[in-house]
Structure formats: C-alpha cells, structure tokens
Amino acid sequence: MKKVFLIHGWEGYPEEGWRPWLKDELEKQGFEVMIPAMPNSANPKMSEWLSHLQKLAADPDEDCYFVGHSLGCIAILRYLESLEAHQKIGGAVLVAGFTSNLGYDALDTFFQTDIDWTKIKSHCKKFTAIHSSNDPYVPLRYADIFKNRLGAEIIVEQNMKHFSGDDGIHKLPSALESVLALQG
C-alpha cells in the first residue's frame, strides 16, 4: 500500500495547518497517511527526530512518500541520509524547506554536519520543493539549492507566508498535486 508521512516543523503538531486536509485528500486517493507528532517540537533535537522517523518508517520502499513542512524537511533529508544502500523511497515534497539554521541556535543540531546530497539522491530520485514568495523565515534562495542539489521541481506560491495555520493556510493543493505527480 502507498504510504505518506507528513512531517511537521518546529513547534508544529499533527493537527496544525494544512496537514489534516492533505491527509484526508490523500486517503481519498488510496494512500495510508501518518502524521506523527515529532518529539519535543518546541525544543527539537535532530537525534530525537531522526530516531523517531527511523522507527516510524523502519522499512521504506518506493511506495513510501514524505511531505515535510519547514524543519520537517531537513528531518526528512537526514532520514534519507541514514538509510541502508538498498533502501529507496518514492519521493519527497519539501514545503518551506531550508538547509541552514536560519540564524536560530535552537536548530543547530540539524546542521552540525554537511548535508550529503549524493547519498540523499541515492535513496530518492523525485523531489518537489514548494516555497512562498513572501515567507518571513525562509528566503527563496533555498528553492534554488533544492533544484541544484536534488534536481527538485520548484513551485513558488504567491503570498503564502510560511504555509502555517497561523498564516491562514488550511489547504495546500500544490502539495497534494505534488505527491500525486511523484507516482508518475
């Protein structure tokens, strides 16, 4: 069965923003969808988040997809780095993702080592990165990094801020369309 893991960001939680809507829409398409509560989301630690993902998706295959929001994106990339050589997933959608601590010391544990782009691509061939034209935290230059390093398809949404429920974003059709397109 096709599975999708929706991974929230810093201070996020499963029921926040567009995740419940996306879960419902993907289930209508026949996916099994999990939205885990990531550990200690107010004070996230990469080791805890990685361990949690490794337990949840212990035996991934090409019918397994990930959608991350904000800090959830680097958690997915770190998870992909940790996979065994033979393990592959079907694809990943990175919403408001980034590759540095954005000036927040609280996020340092996720960026203590360089991102191993080659290893990530050996476990996943299909990426889509969705960014907002006016994200107050994540500059659009990160879209270029995902395009250059992962060959990601880039979608730039207008005026969606950081794609959070606090920004009034409770549906994200581009994320749904991106997951469905990854299967092709």
H-state helical runs in 3-45 = 19-28
Is 135 a known active-site residue? yes
Is 162 a known active-site residue? yes
**Domain with 153 in it: what CATH number?**
3.40.50.1820
Is 70 a known active-site residue? yes
Residue of 69, 135, 164, 178 with catalytic role: 135
Instruction: Look at the chain and report how many structural domains it folds into.
Output: 1
Give SS3 for 34.
strand
| Tens digit of each residue's pLDDT, the chain (184 residues) | 899 999 999 999 999 999 999 999 999 999 999 999 999 999 999 999 999 999 999 999 999 999 999 999 999 999 999 999 999 999 999 999 999 999 999 999 999 999 999 999 999 999 999 999 999 999 999 999 999 999 999 999 999 999 999 999 999 999 999 999 998 6
Which range of residues forms the domain containing residue 143?
3-182
Please list, in sequence order, all residues whose beta carbon lies within 8 angstroms of the beta carbon of residue 5, skipping any fewer than 6 positions away. 33, 34, 35, 36, 53, 56, 57, 64, 65, 66, 67
